[in-house]
């Protein structure tokens, strides 16, 4: 079988029947939603020092703000996908964006740490539904030969939103204070909701049968894709959370420069996710994922030598950043194709596994560093995990799946 495969899944699910212009509008609307909701992943992080001074809590409690949003974000992946499959992405996404806006309004008017944490937990419910709803909508609206590229654009917009606020929030804080930054985040979500309501074309995935929910949850092919999501997206967030510490403490890089380099782990996904969608039209899913995982492993192992340089560290970050983004579109297009009647829940399962890697991997890296006094063992483990997942890729079906009854 040639690796030159057509990435179309229109043989799996009925195409949405949208014109080319309507497909473009649908993808643009999906990308606007992705940008607006994903800003909530990181909009609190640059404000941590100000919030700690305001409410008198420590760095560990500050970290729980991130844990809070990702915990409920992960929890809502499968239930949110199930809602989208049953009620339709357009209706559910509108409610989810309003939910995200309400969470940010709560943050803006918080008067204590517990209120901040509660609002982040609340917001994560909305962002979780936004992801699966947006990915499901793009899957239906862009069905056809451009699906992988469209899915890559959606994924790149997620990275853009999360990365944009890291750069914009500190400047907004200096101009208007921390409460204003959450008001702006609420405004972004509401603006996206208005655009969504006014401009997003209705898209149907056709008449594919829903499939058995239990079969979907236990499908080996979805779990294999979930492992890849753990070794790509999950690993990228884990590396991104520690690479700045490595650059500043080990390589003595100035904090501002280290922050810029560290942000590349996130920001390069803006390009690599759509690029992966383009490559998927010319490469089979196996070689695309294997090549990406080898890049990630090489980048992780580059951090292992005790004597390192800024150039090697920068190269490692670029390798990891490119590797984690390239398989994104192929993974989620394949997940939706495996269960076209439950595409939202199937995508949610894959993404949930990636988020579990974040929740468990970030503290594990820190724990190993505390035990050994260095990050070398941590990066050996991360690189080894990438290679382990790489060894399982031949189990992923080469051909596009047939519909599940």
What pLDDT digit, counting tens, does each position of 81-92 carry?
999 998 988 999
pTM of the entire structure?
Answer: 0.85
At 260 the pLDDT is: 75
> What's the mean pLDDT in 228-232?
95
Q: How far apart are CA 310 and CA 316, in angstroms?
A: 10
- Best CA proximity match to 300, nearest among 227, 223, 390: 390
CATH architecture of 208-405: Up-down Bundle (1.20)
> What's the mean pLDDT in 74-98?
93
Q: Is 115 exposed, middle or buried (0-12, 13-18, 19+ CB in 10 A)?
A: middle
Q: Which of 55-59, 111-115, 267-271 has the lowest mean pLDDT?
A: 55-59
> How sure is the predictor about 12, in pLDDT bands with cuts at 50, 70 and 90?
very low
Q: Half-sphere exposure (CA, 13 Å, Cβ side) for 133?
A: 34
CA dihedral 86, 90, 92, 93 (to 10 degrees): 140
Give domain limits for the chain. Answer: 13-207, 208-405
> What's the mean pLDDT in 338-359?
91
CATH architecture of 13-207: Up-down Bundle (1.20)
Same topology between domain 13-207 and domain 208-405: yes
Q: List the structure tokens of 268.
A: 């390069």
Q: How far apart are CA 344 and CA 134, in angstroms?
A: 9
Q: List the structure tokens of 97.
A: 């964006």
Q: List the structure tokens of 58.
A: 């420590």
> How sure is the predictor about 210, in pLDDT bands with cuts at 50, 70 and 90?
low
For 156, residues 6+ apart whose C-beta sits below 8 A from its C-beta are 31, 269, 270, 271, 272, 273, 274, 325
For residue 356, the tally of other CB atoms under 10 A from its CB is 16
At 314 the pLDDT is: 87
- Best CA proximity match to 359, nearest among 51, 72, 36, 96: 72
Residue 208 falls in which region: left (phi positive, over 0), alpha (psi -120 to 50) or beta: beta
- Best CA proximity match to 87, nearest among 128, 129, 125, 47: 129
What b/e string do you get for 89-114 counting C-beta neighbours within 10 Å, with b at 16 or more? bbebbbbbbebbbbbbbbbbebeebe
Question: Which residue bears the tokens 């779990």?
Answer: 223
CA quadruple 169, 170, 173, 179: dihedral sign: positive
> What's the mean pLDDT in 13-29?
76
């Amino acid at each position: 079988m040639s690796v030159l495969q057509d990435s179309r899944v229109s043989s799996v699910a009925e195409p949405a029947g949208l014109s080319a212009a309507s497909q473009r509008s649908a993808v643009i609307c999906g990308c606007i939603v992705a940008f607006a909701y994903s800003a909530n992943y990181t909009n609190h992080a640059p404000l941590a020092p100000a919030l700690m001074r305001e409410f008198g809590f420590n760095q560990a409690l500050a970290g729980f703000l991130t844990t809070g949003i990702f915990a409920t974000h992960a929890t809502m992946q499968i239930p949110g996908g199930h809602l989208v499959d049953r009620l339709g992405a357009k209706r559910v996404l509108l409610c989810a964006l309003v939910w995200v806006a309400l969470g940010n309004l709560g943050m803006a008017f918080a008067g204590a740490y517990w209120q901040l944490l509660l609002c982040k937990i609340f917001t994560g419910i909305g962002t979780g539904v936004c992801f699966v709803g947006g990915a499901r909508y793009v899957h239906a609206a862009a069905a056809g030969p451009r699906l992988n590229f469209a899915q890559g654009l959606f994924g790149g917009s997620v990275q853009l939103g999360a990365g944009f606020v890291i750069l914009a929030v500190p400047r907004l804080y200096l101009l208007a204070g921390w409460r204003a930054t959450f008001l702006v985040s609420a405004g972004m979500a509401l603006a996206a909701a208005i655009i969504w309501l006014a401009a997003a074309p209705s898209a149907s995935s056709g008449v594919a049968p829903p499939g058995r929910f239990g079969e979907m949850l236990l499908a080996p092919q979805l779990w294999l894709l979930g492992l890849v999501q753990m070794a790509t997206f999950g690993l990228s967030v884990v590396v991104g959370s520690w690479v700045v510490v490595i650059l500043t403490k080990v390589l003595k890089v100035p904090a501002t420069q280290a922050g810029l380099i560290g942000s590349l782990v996130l920001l390069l996904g803006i390009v690599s996710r759509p690029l992966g969608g383009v490559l998927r039209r010319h490469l089979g899913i196996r070689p695309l994922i294997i090549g990406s995982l080898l890049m990630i492993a090489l980048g992780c192992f580059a951090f292992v030598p005790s004597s390192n340089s800024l150039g090697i560290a920068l190269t490692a970050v670029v390798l990891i950043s490119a590797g984690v983004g390239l398989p994104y579109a192929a993974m989620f297009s394949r997940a939706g194709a495996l269960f076209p009647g439950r595409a939202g829940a199937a995508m949610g399962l894959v993404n949930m596994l990636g988020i579990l890697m974040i929740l468990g991997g970030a503290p594990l890296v820190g724990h190993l560093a505390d035990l050994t006094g260095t990050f070398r063992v941590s990066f050996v483990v991360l690189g080894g995990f990438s290679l382990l997942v790489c060894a399982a890729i031949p189990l992923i079906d080469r051909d596009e799946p047939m519909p599940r009854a």
